[in-house]
Amino acid sequence: MTEQLSGVIERITFHNLDTGYCVLRVRARGQRELVTVVGEMQHPVAGEYVEAAGKWVTDRQFGLQFKADNLKATPPHTAEGIVKYLGSGLVRGVGPGFARRIVDVFGDKTLEVIDQSPTFLTQVKGVGPKLVEKIRDSWREQQAVRSIMVFLHSYGIGTARAVRIYREYGENAIEVVKRNPYRLSTDIWGVGFQTADALALKLGLPRDSPFRAQAAVRHVLGEAQSDGHVGLPEELATQAAEALTQIPPDGIRDAVEQLRVTDEIVRDSVALVTKDTGYDPDEAAGVPGDEHLLYLKPLFLAEFGVARQLAALAKGAHPLRTADHTAALGWAEAQMGITFADSQRKAVTEAVSHKLMVVTGGPGTGKTTIVRAILEIVSAKSLRVLLAAPTGRAAKRLAESTGREAKTIHRLLEFDPGIGGFRRGKENPLDVDVLVVDEVSMVDVVLMNQLLRAVPPFAAVVFVGDVDQLPSVGAGSVLADLIESKVLPVARLTEVHRQAGASWIVRAAHAINHGEQPESAPAGKGDFYFVEADAPEAVIDRIRQAVTTRIPAAFGLDPLKDVQVLTPQVKTELGVLNLNRVLQEALNPPKPGTIETKKFDSTFRAGDKVMQVRNNYQREVFNGDIGRVAAIDAVDQTLTVDFDGKQVAYDFADLDELQLAYAISVHKSQGAEYPAVVVPVSTQHYVMLQRNLLYTAVTRGRKLVVLVGSRRALWRAVTTADTRRRFGLLRWRLRSLMTKDQ
């Protein structure tokens, strides 16, 4: 028999934004104590009046509950209910104190005043025009977001992105989405094809609609980009789109052609790239000359732009304009107080005689020495030098190793949030004669294109990086393509120098790179250790001990500032999400009076270590940046993160741009260096146990690296080379353009 229950929501114990499932504590009519109500509601707010239909049940763990089959909420009717409602964080800028003041003036007419005549709020002491504007805008947003939530939920779609949908489309959001639901997957970060497709089908769009087929092709190419591919073989792309939609092949092929007609995608191949150059496409190892690749247009333009700009830069004389390289080398040796090895002399000579140069090698092989020598020589001739790296951490390391200023590529190109782009480019090039770019393995094809557009035609560029590390998070394998094109001089450094060879970390890295088991240092006498543990629970326990007590005690390192856990995957027991929960509980547990805010599966507290997980040009924070939560303001609904002294504020609605960073993925650690690194190595990560991934993780540690796991998993990692290739045509474009000009 269905029972009825009604009352005021006192607090929200749990709420899942995707499903609407919530656990509410309600002051119900006829009940002396607060009762627990569970059910589905899209946007419960403390203070609302709720009506529930369902039945009483006794949960084995949580006791007596009212399980609601139907939950309906209405704004509160009483003054006390309105105080709780407004002070719950519903409206930015209004906390419990202001809520009480406003209700004391307007009583049970308060919500009507805010909705229809917000300027009257200035009658309340302390409420000025700016706060009125903030309250009005926040109230309107809340009303619109709630409408979007109800609309999406009525079609079985989760509502976690409702705020973003409103901010993108405004008050006409529902009409925009109804006209073309697939816009969600391209316009709204975090909304994928499956969500948009489910909504489109429920709105009545035919399963074989051309719009659906085109959206599927775009989605497949977008997913390929997320996996690092610049283009994707057409056969793979069409097969994936067919599997996704069950649309017949003819429908997918028609979609491809239509997207080409509207200039959204481009078809290309090795044969087309090398046409009329005299280059034999059969030499294109692993890519048949006639295999067509499909590109999203921006990625095609980026790849083509990189090749064209490098070909143009290669022309002409080096800005140093000296033929006496021997004297220059001798002078640099004297300045630096060292004697170059033969390989280093050759590398420096090529770097000051060729306008384009690649320097690659592992830790301890002398990349920094070569860069310093180049800088000494060109600076002595008063040439203008700029140093750049893809991330703030990498730029800081470059500055420390060279003693010169280094900038991130974004800062170098002067990104301007106001115009949504870079101020430096073809029309406003950099003031530089020699540009040194470090950690090039991290640079994707899009960012490299932007950088090269800003290099003047007379300048020289030195690309520095470790090609054996993981490729960039973004699309492309630029460093590998520069080397494999065989049209640029490359200094590949392999000899580990004596001082670096004393490091157990360096020895371990080179052993891994050669497919050999790394050797652990004697207890207390080195900087690289392997701690054996088989079961995931044991690995977690060893990691917790290492981070919280053993490493701080033995090495004097701060567990939050100096120790970074790196893991191959995200969702396993030893993945990023679970290790963050474990380490947050150990290093920053909740304390009385702690303000917390939740987003999806993460809880954020002041002091938490967090990472930005997408490029946000407006905030000028980028994928992989790590900071600490400085403050949480429940009234203004903002969370502030300190990124190396820069304070960045986030609305609560945007917290999915952040994740806890006590543990991060190895991919996200690229270009960074930490005093201490702890890495789980477990058969639980079987498909990710690959040499370049482990090598990248080990080379992130400066003073200490600890691997925790099983010998079997370690053996698997060091003996498994990653044979997956990224699809793209950059190396052949380079060969084609640069051999044509010779």
The CA-atom distances, in angstroms, between 88 and each of 81, 112, 305, 635, 653 are 11, 18, 52, 8, 15
Q: At which residue do the structure tokens 């499903």 appear? A: 19
Side-chain-side CA neighbours of 577 within 13 Å: the count stands at 8
Tell me how far CA of residue 684 lies from CA of 575, 688, 713, in angstroms. Answer: 9, 9, 9
Alpha helical stretches, state H, 444-546: 445-453, 478-484, 498-501, 504-513, 536-545
- For residue 475, give Cα distances in angstroms to 215, 225, 234, 298, 579: 20, 5, 17, 11, 28
Query: What is the model's pLDDT at position 278?
Result: 53
The two three-digit tokens of residue 407, written as one number: 């900038």
Q: What order of strands is seen across the sheet that includes strand 638-643?
A: 646-651, 638-643, 626-633, 609-612, 658-660
> What are the backbone angles phi and psi of residue 657, rounded to the nearest 5°?
-80, -10
3-state secondary structure of 531: strand
pLDDT at 36: 94
Q: What is the pLDDT of residue 498?
A: 53
How far is CA 264 from its chain centroid? 25
Closest C-alpha to 154, from 3, 42, 36, 236: 42
Strand order in the sheet with 265-268: 231-233, 293-296, 265-268
- Indicate the domain borders of the chain: 3-142, 163-271, 318-495, 504-719
In whole angstroms, give the CA distance from residue 366 to residue 357.
16
What would the 3-class secondary structure string for 232-250 be?
EEHHHHHHHHHHHHCCCHH
Query: For position 741, what pLDDT does the model report?
Result: 54
Residue 633: exposed, middle, or buried by beta-carbon count in 10 A (0-12, 13-18, 19+)? middle
Residue 474 CA, distance from chain mean position: 9
If one counts every other C-beta atom within 10 angstroms of the C-beta of residue 723, the result is 7
Look up residue 144 and give its two tokens: 């619109």
Cross-strand bridge partners of residue 378: none
CA Rg value for the chain? 29
Q: Which two tokens stand for residue 69?
A: 């089959």
Instruction: Supply the DSSP symbol for 194.
Output: H
Task: Give the CA diameter of the chain.
Answer: 97
What's 662-692 look like in SS3?
CEEECHHHCCCCEEEEEEEECHHHHHHCCHH
Q: For residue 254, what are the CA distances in angstroms to 238, 503, 647, 688?
A: 10, 59, 50, 37
Phi, psi for 484 (deg, rounded to 5): -70, -20
Q: Give the predicted TM-score (pTM) of the model.
A: 0.84
Q: What is the residue type of 721?
A: A
Average pLDDT per 10 consecutive residues for the chain, totaling 742 residues: 89 81 90 91 86 92 91 86 83 84 88 88 86 86 82 75 82 88 86 89 91 94 92 95 95 96 94 66 50 94 96 91 75 84 84 91 86 89 92 87 92 85 92 95 94 96 91 90 93 73 85 90 86 92 95 93 91 91 94 79 90 84 88 86 91 87 90 89 79 91 93 90 84 86 53
The CATH-assigned architecture of domain 318-495 is 3-Layer(aba) Sandwich (3.40)
Distance CA 607, CA 657 (A): 17
- Using CA atoms, how far apart are residues 427 and 504, in angstroms rounded to an integer? 49
Name residue, tokens 């701690």.
531
What are residue 465's phi and psi, to 5 degrees? 180, 175
Is the CATH number 3.40.50.300 carried by domain 504-719?
Answer: yes
Q: What is the 3-state secondary structure (H, E, C) of 114-145?
A: HHHCHHHHHHCCCCCHHHHHHHHHHHHHHHHH
* Contact indicator for 586, 545 with CB cutoff of 8 Å: no
Q: Report the b/e string of 451-485 with b at 16+ CB within 10 A.
A: bbbbbeeebbbbbbbbbbbbbbbbbbbbbbbbbbb
To 5 degrees, how large is the angle CA 408–CA 410–CA 413? 110
At residue 415, the pLDDT reads 85
Q: One fold for both 3-142 and 504-719?
A: no
CA distance 712 to 125: 69
Count of beta carbons in the 10 Å neighbourhood of residue 731: 24
Which residues, including other chains, have CB under 8 Å from residue 390's CB and lie 6 or more apart?
A: 408, 409, 439, 442, 443, 447, 671
Distance between CA atoms of 677 and 688, rounded to whole angstroms?
18
**pLDDT of the residue at 285:** 44
Instruction: Find out if CATH 1.10.10 is the number for domain 163-271.
Output: yes
The alpha helices in 381-501, defined as continuous H runs, are 392-402, 409-412, 445-453, 478-484, 498-501
pLDDT in the model for residue 284: 46
- Domain 3-142 adopts which CATH fold? OB fold (Dihydrolipoamide Acetyltransferase, E2P) (2.40.50)
* Spatial contact of 75 and 113, defined as CB atoms under 8 Å apart: no
- CA–CA dist 693, 712 (Å, integer): 16
SS3 assignment for 688-704: HCCHHHHHHHHCCEEEE
Cβ atoms within 10 Å, residue 134: 15
